[in-house]
Amino acid sequence: MKPGERILEKEISKRHGISRTPIREALLKLQMAGVVVCSSRRSYHVRVLTVADVKETYEILGILEGAVVSAAAPSVTEDDLSLLRDYNRQMAATAQSRDFHAFGAWNEKFHDVLISKYPNRSLRDLCDSVRRLLYIFPVRHSSLSQWIEMSVGEHEQIIRLAAAKDGPALGSFLREVHWNHRSHSPYLEDAYAGGEEPAPFGSDAGEQRAHELPTTVTSGGLAHVTSSNRQSD
């Protein structure tokens, strides 16, 4: 389903051979996750993620993740650093294929290495849910490779600061650079402004290595959630 598209419960019910009850339960979950929106008439549409939404998300992540990683930095281990380097290499490989959703999946794993060191589970979950929205909507192709390369370069600095266990500098870098929407504005404007054919949810190469990717939410999440609900009925 495309951003802005109306979700027809009756058609989904017929297509999957299930009642509308699990579909409504799935839609409520997706609404809570920020993937769909509901009108006053209980009509659901796939959310349209705007540039303004993305800038707000960056600001939130700068505040939340900046504080979390600053406190968690002293707990970073050599194993953590090894994971960070591996995940960043995986992200670098997506720059040429421009597989944004593969990049998002590895990016989530990268950030979770540091976030997981913080003891407050509710705050960890909040960081994950806010960040995940950035990578489940289609984006434009034009400057995607450059944006990914820029992000990979920033991750290298995050790894250096984490290795030094420099909490204040690490927190500041996430707030002032990595999640600063102003420094990423040209890429955000290009990727989320619309008006061009969006990037697919995976290139052929990406599909071939799909089994290697960590799990992340996609705009196909409705089918996934309804399937889960059907199994639990």
Query: Tell me, what's the pLDDT at 40?
Result: 66
In the chain, at which residue ranges do the beta strands (DSSP E only) sit?
A: 6-7, 36-38, 44-46
Could you report the per-residue pLDDT of 20-44, keeping only the tens digit for each?
Answer: 888 888 888 877 777 778 876 778 8
156/63 same-domain check: yes
Rounded distance between C-alpha atoms, residue 116 and residue 120, angstroms = 9
Distance of CA 44 to the CA centre of its chain: 22
Beta bridge partners of 6: 45
Is the whole-model pTM more than 0.85?
no
Domain that holds residue 11: 6-35+219-232
Query: Tell me, what's the pLDDT at 207?
Result: 37
Reported residue count of the chain is 233
Q: Could you tell me the two tokens for 157?
A: 């600095």
Query: Tell me, what's the pLDDT at 57?
Result: 93
**Within a domain: residue 63?**
yes
128/149 same-domain check: yes
**Within a domain: residue 46?**
no
**Within a domain: residue 40?**
no
62/107 same-domain check: yes
Q: Could you tell me the two tokens for 113?
A: 């290495």
82/104 same-domain check: yes
CATH of the domain at 113: 1.20.120.530
75/158 same-domain check: yes
pLDDT less than 70: residues of the chain: 40, 194-233
61/17 same-domain check: no
Do residues 154 and 187 make contact, with C-beta atoms less than 8 angstroms apart?
Answer: no
Residue 199: how many other CB atoms lie within 10 Å? 19
156/191 same-domain check: yes
Rounded distance between C-alpha atoms, residue 101 and residue 141, angstroms = 12
109/11 same-domain check: no
Query: Tell me, what's the pLDDT at 69?
Result: 96
- In 3-state terms, what secondary structure has residue 186? helix
Query: Tell me, what's the pLDDT at 194?
Result: 60
**Overall number of domains in the chain:** 2
**Within a domain: residue 225?**
yes
Give the 3-state DSSP-derived string for 40-86, with helices as H, strands as E and coil as C: CCCCEEECCCCHHHHHHHHHHHHHHHHHHHHHHHHHCCHHHHHHHHH
